[in-house]
Amino acid sequence: MASQLAMGGDVSAAAKLLLRGELVGIPTETVYGLAANVFDVDAVLRIFEVKARPAFDPLIVHIHDRAQLSALVSQVLPEAEALMRCFWPGPLTLVLPKSAAVPDVVTSGLDTVAIRMPNHPLTLALLQVIDTPLAAPSANPFGYVSPTTAAHVADQLGEKIPYVLDGGPCTVGVESTIIGWEDGLPVLYRPGGLPIEEIEAVIGSVRPHVQKVLPVAPGMIESHYAPRKPLIVGDVGSLLVKHRDKSIGVISFTNNLGAVRCETLSPSGDLKEAARNLFGAIRFLDASDVELIVAEVFPDRELGRAINDRLRRASA
């Protein structure tokens, strides 16, 4: 266990720690990640230990250059190539057939690996310096709200890791969209920071995944992204009446919906702004004196799909 957590923008310091088998918090445009050298099995196992993450939940691998794919995957479909050209670096993860070089602990024994190229200058610089891919799920205790600032990582992981590379607040604020292929057809495993409408404009229709007993990609467990206080999604007016005996905090899209504590994610109605503010609002209400958090259903389009997905899992 690390003796003291440090934060800063020192890419060289972060690289040295990673290359000697330590874990480091890293910024991305989506959320902060908890990173380890993907080929260092002991370090990757430490990710599961620090997060208390179940071993059956696979990790996302981060790269800085498409040339690194040759060491990680055995095949890249033409549709995947098209998506990489359009959206990498960016909030898109692709699930592809893995190479034998990828440790099974990274993929939870699956024959596929989830890969993305993050769109954050500090982490891209870090990946270039160490010149090895990084396995990095979100830098939070398993199941809890994902971190969108370096301070969130420090608050949650304390002295369990030695360093957080501080890249400022995340600009997207929800995890990446995950796309895979089943029987040669594209499948949406997780809605996220890249709207499915933009993906379908490139490769055509993408079908939703039919949930199996165990996850086939990262971030698919039903109860996830959750605060410690109960959270309910639905018609806020009705919920305020039903639970009027409780102190309630509200998460709304554009308007204050009548609660003493109401976190309005985007007064202008911008779904990108709302996604960026979502996890921060959940954290704020979870740390407040409210007994219950209620959230309205967001428009089911673009990043509203990702927001609704996170709220649904947080309430599961």
Helix (H) or strand (E) holding 284: helix 271-287
- Beta strand extents in the chain (DSSP E only): 6-8, 24-26, 33-37, 60-62, 92-97, 112-116, 134-135, 163-165, 177-182, 185-190, 207-208, 231-233, 248-252, 261-264, 292-295
CA neighbor of 306 nearest in space, from 269, 266, 278, 267: 278
CB 113 within 8 A of CB 73: yes
CA neighbor of 302 nearest in space, from 198, 195, 205: 195
Strands 134-135 and 60-62: antiparallel
Token readout for 249 is: 């905090």
Main-chain dihedrals φ then ψ at residue 46, nearest 5 degrees: -65, -30
Taking the model in full, what pTM does it have? 0.91
- Beta strand extents in 10-91 (DSSP E only): 24-26, 33-37, 60-62
| H and E: helices and strands count for the chain | 10, 15
HEC profile for 249-279? EEEECCCCCCCCEEEECCCCCCHHHHHHHHH
pLDDT of residue 211: 65
CATH of 231-315, picked from 3.40.50.12170, 1.10.3720.10, 3.30.565.10, 3.40.50.11030, is: 3.40.50.11030
pLDDT at 122 over 50: yes
pLDDT at 234 over 60: yes
CB 50 within 8 A of CB 160: yes
Of 81-95, 218-232, 286-300, which range is least confident? 218-232
CB 179 within 8 A of CB 187: yes
**Distance between CA 142 and CA 296 in Å, rounded?**
25
pLDDT of residue 287: 94
pLDDT at 265 over 60: yes
Question: What band does 257 get if pLDDT is binned at 50, 70 and 90?
Answer: confident
Average pLDDT over residues 240-257: 93
**Distance between CA 39 and CA 106 in Å, rounded?**
9
pLDDT of residue 34: 98
Domains of the chain, residue spans: 6-208, 231-315
Q: pLDDT per residue over 73-107, tens digit each?
A: 999 999 999 999 999 999 999 999 999 999 999 99
**The two domains 6-208 and 231-315 share their CATH topology (first three levels equal):** no
Question: What band does 220 get if pLDDT is binned at 50, 70 and 90?
Answer: low
pLDDT of residue 233: 97
Question: What band does 316 get if pLDDT is binned at 50, 70 and 90?
Answer: confident
Question: What band does 245 get if pLDDT is binned at 50, 70 and 90?
Answer: very high
Q: pLDDT per residue over 21-66, tens digit each?
A: 999 999 999 999 999 999 999 999 999 999 998 888 899 999 999 9
pLDDT at 2 over 50: no
pLDDT of residue 197: 97
> 6-208 in CATH: which number?
3.90.870.10
